[in-house]
Structure 1
Amino acid sequence: MKYLKALLATFAFVIVLLGVYALHVRYGKVNVVLYSAILDAGIAAAVVGIGVFALKAFGDFNRFEKVQLICLWMLGGYAFAISVPTVIDRSLSFYILEKIQQRGGGIHADHLHDVLAKEYMIEHRLVDVRLTEQLQSGTIVIDERCVRLTGRGHNLARFSRFFRGNLLPRQRLLMGEYSDDLTDPFRNSVSEVNYRCG
């Protein structure tokens, strides 16, 4: 009987989460999609959690079990936030599928680079979106039109470079060939640049 009640409460959480998320994205202001969706999960977990603590129907659950349910819902909400809205918002893979569909179901493979360089960056306002996310995350500041890393930004960049260089696949399939190119994407980067800030 407890399992059924836990399942029903979890179903209620999913319904409340989807409702809160739908209302938030439709009528609310969103700074960063991931953070917004996590907030929605927290609101849904709090609403259903209050119900679980308040309703006599859940009296056979002890306090620890109720807290466990709320933690489980938060983990589920976090998985939803990352796996659905954030992936669709950020995914180049989904963009390519949508663009191919927009163009009647087919695009010449040798023109995809042009599509990405000339359309993707503009249509998705990619620079504006990513700068906004980094500003909201506290990893960059913009000072006199110069984008600078904060201490947090330096630490995350160091972690990312370490992880990329040591813990990403060394034999990753890229267009029919296995390569380690993505473990060091700057390997063949132009070293002399003229857009650095003073």
Structure 2
Amino acid sequence: MKIIRFAAASAFFLVLACAIYWLHISYMHVNVVFYSAIVDGVMAAFITAGLVMALRSFSVFSGFEKLQMLIIWLLTAYALAISVPTVLDRSLSFYILEKLQQRGGGIQQSRFAEVFTDEYLKEHRLVDVRLTEQLESGTIRIENGCVRLTPKGDGLASFSRFFRRHLLPKQRLLMGQYSDDLTDPFRHSAAQKDYTCR
């Protein structure tokens, strides 16, 4: 009996989360896709939890079990926000598939760098999207045309560099060869460019 009621409440949560997300993206402003999807899922989780607390048919659950259900729904909301809209919005892998489809199913491998620099950056407004996300996250600030790290951004960059160097695969398959290139992608960077802020 409990399993059926939990399943029914969870199904309601999923439908509600999708409905809130659809209303949000259709009729409201969205600053960052990931953050808005998280907010939508959290709202659906708390609304569902409120109904579970209020309806007599869910009195078979203890307070602790109801708390567990809320936690499950919150974790599900987080997983959905990352796994669906955020991945589709940010994924270079999906872009490659969509671009191949757009171009009739095939693109010369030697031209992919050109596709990324000439088409991907413009079509997805990649610089604008990523700078907006970082501004909204508080990791950068823009002053007089200069993008600067905040202390929060500096800390995250240090963590990312540490993780990349020490906790990413040292033997990763890249186009038929195993390499550690992505543990230190700046290893072969060009010399100092003139785009730094004065």
Per the normalisation by structure 1, the TM-score is: 0.99
Which letter does structure 2 place at the counterpart of 1:85?
P
Inter-partner Cα distance in structure 2 for 1:162 and 1:191 = 22
| Structure 2: runs of 5 or more not aligned | none
Equivalent residues in 2 for 1:112-191, closer than 5 Å:
112-191=112-191
Aligned to 1:25: 25
Aligned to 1:46: 46
Tell me how large the CA RMSD over aligned residues is: 0.6
How far does residue 141 in structure 1 lie from its aligned partner after superposition? 0.2
Aligned residues: 198
| Structure 1: runs of 5 or more not aligned | none
Aligned to 1:84: 84
Aligned to 2:6: 6
How far does residue 63 in structure 1 lie from its aligned partner after superposition? 1.1
Aligned to 2:103: 103
Which letter does structure 1 place at the counterpart of 2:175?
M
Residue 169 of structure 1 aligns to a residue whose secondary structure is: coil
Identity of aligned residues (%): 58
Residue 104 of structure 2 aligns to a residue whose secondary structure is: coil
Residue 31 of structure 2 aligns to a residue whose secondary structure is: coil
Q: Alpha-carbon deviations, 1:36-71, whole Å to 9, x = none? A: 000000110111111000000001111111111011
- The reply to whether residue 194 of structure 1 matches residue 194 of structure 2 is yes
Residue 155 of structure 1 aligns to a residue whose secondary structure is: helix
How far does residue 114 in structure 1 lie from its aligned partner after superposition? 0.5
Residue 61 of structure 1 aligns to a residue whose secondary structure is: coil
Which letter does structure 1 place at the counterpart of 2:119?
E
Runs in 1 of length 4+ with deviation above 2 angstroms? none
How far does residue 191 in structure 1 lie from its aligned partner after superposition? 2.6
